[in-house]
A and B are shown apart, each in its own frame.
Chain A
Amino acid sequence: MKVKVKVVLKDGILDPQGKAVLHAINDLKFKGVNDVRIGKYIELIFDGLEKSQVESEIQEICQKLLANPVMENFEYEIEESA
């Protein structure tokens, strides 16, 4: 079972990388982009667990390790076919 995790900075927290990319986009003369936020994408492959178990494990893994709750939010998607 594949779990796709996204970790993003909370709103209001400065994202210097995002700002740099935004400047580059503006330099390329694209007009429509107003802000850029850069986060992390993490894939985890689970084996031998029921979906409900995966769900509770991934929740804890995200809270404990993958995201820092002081400054980051996370979301995940469980892909059963994989």
Chain B
Amino acid sequence: MTVVGLRRIVIVGGGLAAVRAAERLAERDFRGQVDLISAEPHRPYRRPALSDGVLTGRVAPRDLALQARMPARARWIHGVRAVGLDRALRRVRLSNGRELPYDGLIIATGLRARTLPAFDALDPGLVHTLRTVDDALRLRMAARRARHVLIVGGGLVGTESAWALRSQGVAVTLIDPMPTLLSEVAGPRVGAALTTLHRGRGVDVRTATGIAGVEWGTRGVVANLTDGTIVRADAALVAIGAVPETDWLIGTGLDVERGVACEPTLHALGADDIVACGDCARWPNLRFGGASRRVEQWVTTTLMAQHAADALLVGRDSATAFTPIPWGWTEQWGMRLHLVGSPAPSAEHRVADGDPEALRGAFSLHDELGRMVAGISAERPGVTLRLMDELAGAWPEPPADAAARWREAAVAPQRRSAEHHGARPEPAGPPLRRFARSRSRPGSPTRAGR
């Protein structure tokens, strides 16, 4: 079942979500034109392998490429950004001055690394972020010359990079404002165990600590920490999360606060012809109560891209709700950790079984009502599957008409109110503004995850 008249699809983005959405169009035998706009010069590659693969030297950049069956009439446009959108004329404006018409639009622009203003004054050669393959190669080169690297941020990128650099003999100081590393993805107790693990391997971990200021030294970076100490390093890696690449959509009427806001079907809120997927998009997962949030995860992104492509093809009224059970992993010091369910277990969640401090076995995290919200397995891949089954039992798949009911509840009150005041119902979607100019806007802190 395909929406009649869908002949040209534009996919904005060049990462995992973009390529998996394109691949799904091919699987569904979409015969029309598919244009993919990628700001990066490279074909899509595995981003999670940058920290645990490229930095460790385990994975060569040429082995990062993603394999995919693309639609027959797919066309890559590399090194070009989308800078504006005309929703009325259905055109994407590009940084090279061209305009691309579409019948259906897939937004998959992903994230850009957050930076710290305190580091702006430094020689850019000393300061790194880790988001792209070029970032990873540049950091690896710097690490070969460096004796000491300062890593700001103890999320997945920060901790995996600490492992990668420390295991190659580089001294690493890792600072994080929270009391433990990885607290946002693994919860406080597992986070504490991981903090101990890193310290045991010689990483200088400073928790509950931030950057008070930075300056140049004779050797490189001199960082004054909020605990009053000073760290001198040859280079700094700023790994404090990433922000959605949505500036080009500001002023188009789409809600892009904290990511592109989507309906449960992954249609952009109020749009029939636009879907979004991957790290840049947030949506209410109706399986888990329906709070609108982003999930930065490899597995979820692929499933999301496939769902978004399907949703675009079948149309807003026939599309179903996207209700995955999040599944993520990290590998540090040779230890595999699997995280299923809520990406943000809170301090109130209690551990029902297993021994998180020992970082061995599987355990589940429960909310104050006793309901399981997440499962974590350490070096026990077999039981990850059991944890997923338990989560699915606690949070069953919502009924087939859940998306339609959600939309009715979200849209109907506004319409009723408009009719009550004698006004004509608003047309679908907010007012359009032609080719809104991109402007930068500070993003909100985001959760590291995959």
A binds B: no
A-side interface residues toward B, CB under 8 Å? none
B-side interface residues toward A, CB under 8 Å? none
